Amino acid sequence: QVQLVESGGDLVKPGGSLRLSCTASGFTFSDYYMSWIRQTPGKGLEWLSHISDGGSAIYYADSVKGRFTISRDNAKNSLYLQMNSLRVEDTAVFYCAKHIIGETAFDIWGQGTMVTVSP
């Protein structure tokens, strides 16, 4: 079935780095835009970044611009989020999500991976 599975979440110290992965199955990954979204108890759901189907168009929220890098490998049906200079306030559950073609809506979400940034 159509599925997204995130991995890579961990406990890391402030200033550290982490790379999240999202593996897709059940659909033609290379046809779809993809996004990363995070969720915290305090700030709720926050869209972070999205990447076009071919990877040529990329956008970031200001809160992560310059620190996070989104990428994809269509041959491996995989989406990535490289996170550098992590801050305590980056602590969250991180979701990858698939876009509906022609919409900015997310129709499929992964189960999420927890990132904790703590001294």
Partner 1 sequence: DTVVTQTPLSLSVTPGQSASISCKSTRSLLHSSGKTLLYWYLQKPGQPPQLLIYGVSNRFSGVPDRFSGSGSGTDFTLKISRVETDDVGIYYCMQGIQLPWTFGQGTRVEIK
27 lies in the binding site for partner 1 (CB under 8 A):
no
* Residue 95 found at the interface with partner 1 (CB under 8 A): yes
Question: Site for partner 1 (CB under 8 A): how many residues?
Answer: 18
3-state SS of the chain is CCEEEEECCCEECCCCCEEEEEEEECCCHHHCCEEEEEEECCCEEEEEEEECCCCCCEEECCCCCCCEEEEEEHHHCEEEEEECCCCHHHCEEEEEEEECCCCCCEEEECCCEEEEECC
Least distance (Å) from partner 1 to the CB of residue 102? 8
Q: Indicate which single residue of 61, 77, 82, 116 sits in contact with partner 1 (rule: CB under 8 A).
A: 61
Range in contact with partner 1 (rule: CB under 8 A) among 14-22, 73-81, 84-92, 96-104: 96-104
Contact positions toward partner 1, by CB under 8 A?
A: 44-47, 59, 61-62, 95, 100, 103-107, 109-112
